[in-house]
Structure 1
């Protein structure tokens, strides 16, 4: 029996036992919740395995609060990306049971409350300046129930730092490589492991880096097979994709 069928059976049993009204059941069965400024996709988890994620940048505090409220009504995991410090303080004041990860700029369901996968993804970060993107990837994967191991400040200018961790990296099922400048770390890691590598270029670098465009093109042109490249600064995408692969592995 699928999770979707289990959920539907539980809902019908709750109506039958008068634990849930018909109107409440209809609300839970709706495909989306209309908020005026947004239509919240309530069936995302059934289709893709994880609820709708809130992109916080550009949204007001009140809009984010309203969307979180809808997700909580439907007992969904909360993941809000790209939330600055000031906005986060107001949101956490409203929902004190959520937590804010400042480096990642993420508000989410407490990570310790989420059971983790058997296998892990490695988050490999070239330098300290790349940490916000690396942490966005790491926290995203953790909220999605994935065991994460972090290997930070192991860029190619001191490549011996990477080699001291390579056996642990190889034992993971997916690697996410986060790097700026010329993005060389991505090709190095891809040539040393036997699993998929998601490369995330960052906008960190001097003028000719072109705010990450140089890094992006370098990663796209990698000679190492098994590499997939995300958009500039898209740590969320790296974490999400890695989580999907590990969930798929553990389903079989």
Structure 2
């Protein structure tokens, strides 16, 4: 990677290519190998608008520490998902400025700042038990610079709770709706909203919910138009999709 950068910088200095062309070339520069266990895509943010994020589950604290310390050299968000509290305590010993969001199970090198991106992401949950997945989406969105509105426990078993908060639905630019059990809430919300709805099935529910498969199928079979569905418990993926929708809206409005 260093050799490629030197050649590119020299070509700019010699006037062989313009800075604009160089920027396009930077998007496709190689990854960086970290020992034998990781290949870090350090140009993902330049290419896609969002940085590579560390999947914390199934990695050792030592591996996560080394990846964070490499990624912190870049100017961008450094975060890891699915970090349990005991793992965070181990990471904190060697990365003292690491922050932790326990409900979301996310750790990051920065705190959410004043929103810098256009648009608002509104996140709803059917029940209190869905909040961890919803918080993963919320914290991800905030760390990536988006304004986030939270509305918890407004499921269809007490639909008046949702109807009493119509303004949250009406004022959203993109909605993330998180639900387990039968997963009906996204269909109801999509029937009220004039913006995209991202449905997130959770593994919350009794045995016949099949650890999230039942709400997943409900959401995929929704009769309401304008719903996109992500994988079970994938709050992170929902936030990135919401962010891409808002960034695309900004791009085409220029």
Q: CA RMSD in A?
A: 2.0
How much has 1:84 moved relative to structure 2?
Answer: 0.5
Corresponding position of 2:124: 124
| Cα deviation 1:182-238 (Å, max 9, x = unaligned) | 001010001000110000000000011111111110110000000011111111111
Structure 1 unaligned residues grouped into runs of 5+: 1-7, 17-28
* Distance (whole Å) between structure 1 residues aligned to residue 118 and residue 45 of structure 2: 21
TM score, norm. by length of structure 2: 0.85
Residue 197 of structure 2 contacts residue 226 of structure 2 at CA under 8 Å; is this kept in 1? yes
Which runs of structure 1 show a deviation greater than 4 angstroms over 4 or more consecutive aligned residues? none
In structure 2, relative to structure 1, the CA distance for the partners of 1:105 and 1:47 (3 Å cut) is same
Name the CA distance, whole Å, in 1 between partners of 2:153 and 2:116: 25
Aligned residue in 1 for 2:67: 67
Structure 2: unaligned runs, 5 residues or longer: 14-27
Q: 3-state DSSP class of the match of 1:159?
A: helix
Secondary structure, aligned partner of 2:71: helix
C-alpha displacement at 1:97, in angstroms? 2.2
Corresponding residue number in structure 2 for 1:145: 145
1:109, 1:243 → 2: CA distance?
Answer: 20
Q: Deviations over 1:92-139 (max 9, x none)?
A: 232232310000000113233464334211100111111110001111
Q: Deviations over 1:26-79 (max 9, x none)?
A: xxx963221110100111111101111100010000000011011112233112
The equivalences for 1:148-167 within 5 A come to 148-167=148-167
Per-residue deviation, 1:12: 5.5
The equivalent residue for 1:31 is 30
Structure 1's 114 and 31: CA in aligned 2 closer, same or farther, altered over 3 A? farther
Contact 2:122-2:174 within 8 A present in 1 as well: yes
Alignment of 1:165-180 (within 5 A): 165-180=165-180
How far is the alpha carbon of 1:244 from its aligned partner?
Answer: 1.1
